A and B are shown apart, each in its own frame.
Chain A
Amino acid sequence: MKANFKYNLAWLGVMVLGFVIIDACEFLGIINTFIENMLVTMGINIILATGLNLIIGFSGQFSLGHAGFMAIGAYATGIITQNIATPLGFYLSMGVGIIIAMIAALIVGIPTLRLRGDYLAIATMGAAEIIRILINNFKITNGAAGLFNIPPLVTWVTVYVLMCLTTIITVNFIHSRNGRAIMSVREDEIAAEAMGINTTRWKLAAFVFGAGTAAIGGSLHAAYIQTIAPGDFNIMASIAILIIVVLGGVGSITGTFVAAMVLGALDTILQNFGTLRMIIYALALILIMIFKPAGLLGNWEFSFKRLSRRLRKESAIHE
């Protein structure tokens, strides 16, 4: 903790700086509702994609069901805040969403995580579809019409703070002893097992953790957009998050941030192109997989530690 104090301080500085810049722009009127909407979408996508990257990039399991867990969070918020329309109600609903999503992830994960790669993808996709179909038919979720007039309890500040919080927790989780166990499962499951790591348990841990962050993203989505329908959480939604992860780099949180921001901006610019935008994304996905399968940034991470070390080295050379 002490050794990294300087670098943690630097990261805190970055977060505060980001907040101050957005706040100043908001104050000066540079950010209108349109841009604010874009920024909030980026923030929510970062939360969602960070969770998915933990599953795909760090534990090496392929989940195609992220939108299902997002739906749980979104509907928890939608239903609860319509009855308790206070900020406290929102956080309560988010907590409920996270817990339900984690339980669902446990139920889905325990049988399916024994499967390998591509089977797992199909099984998680099936699970997400089951969640969506259930929501589509329940009375409490208002069926296919979805929920509307959800109280607007979320501003960009909430999204920003939660984005920072989930990222800090996720990164710390990855850098902990448990995180190393998870990465060892990705590298070689058999070798990891031989080292005494309970592979199923750690795969499950990453999966459940990812599901929890997806629920946070869903809660924010519901409270900010104020309208949700089962159709928002179909396979396409899962694939959209997958595209962010793959584009940024499978196993790079920095990459996820960059990709979520670039794609968020592109989405806004290309809004009028509709389907053509999807064609471009699909082509980009195929081309990246063929020419740079690890994603644009691979597993490279930006780190203040390395930066300062390099600066020190360079100044030593100049002296």
Chain B
Amino acid sequence: MQVTGGGTGVAAGEEPGAAAKARRRVGPYTLITALDDPRTGLPVPERRHIARSADGRHTVLLSLPRPGADAGRFLAEADGSRYLLGPCAAPATALAGPGEPAWYSWPYQPVLPLPTALAVHGGPLPERTVRALGVALAETLAVLHGQGLAFAGVSPAAVLLAADRPRLSCFGAVRAAAPDGTPRSGLPGLEAGSLPPEQASGGRPRPLGDVYALGATLAYAATGHTTPERDELPAAFRTVVARCLSRDPSTRPQLAELIDALSIGAGTDAGAGADNRAATLLTPGWLPGRVIAALAHQSAAVLTAEIPVEAPPAPSADPGTSPVSRPHPN
């Protein structure tokens, strides 16, 4: 199996010229391939692509709102993500200007959405991977909560696996899907199992909602679905993940508890401090071999991909669409 996060075949260099010419342009970018593989069947709140600037110099991960989604809320969350801190945050570095169709982007690196990683691996991920994932994401959420933010969008598809650590994308997907006060159950793009009940009913996303969503996402990594039977979960963190999935936010664990529970018995250095447990887990072997192979395959295919070079359009042909934050000032 060689699913690489591109259902359309990432090896664009092999495409005939006609297909290459048909590539879509979005803002200053030409699309190379889709990041998500629809065959995984999990909802994705955004349409994500690997894309490249017209001069060929900058390859990015580019997100667009789903068809019919509110572009304004999408852009507002993208704008908010620019200030995210934490090792696994994925802040937008460029976004569409006023009047332009909505998009945001951040620099490309090889990543696999979590559902693709399971498909590539051939099933649920090893316990070691789940622990590392859980601790790294929990540490980043703790930073975020310290900034006074709720992520509101943790889901299997939002988690991207990179070589060194996971990245948390799709910031604010729940808020973008519908404003507070509007029921969100069944909205397109939101994965039901990782949507906290209080947010599904229209409540304002809060930090303990992120704990629920993270629990569901870890359950997915360990079992292949977000609403597992209790005994499907690995015994080592069965209890704590089940507590994350409590309907009542007040009975969910704090992130520090979750980090402790996931670290126990995983050989982490207790002296590493509560805010740096992930580093002791993200060591060689944290990702299974086939996931690394898929990352390398994606990287090689994107290195090989070539976008069609066109004569630069006359400056007057494109009025009033200069992005608010010009992409790639260098």
Are A and B physically bound partners? no
Binding site for B on A (CB under 8 A): none
Which residues of B does A touch, CB under 8 Å?
A: none
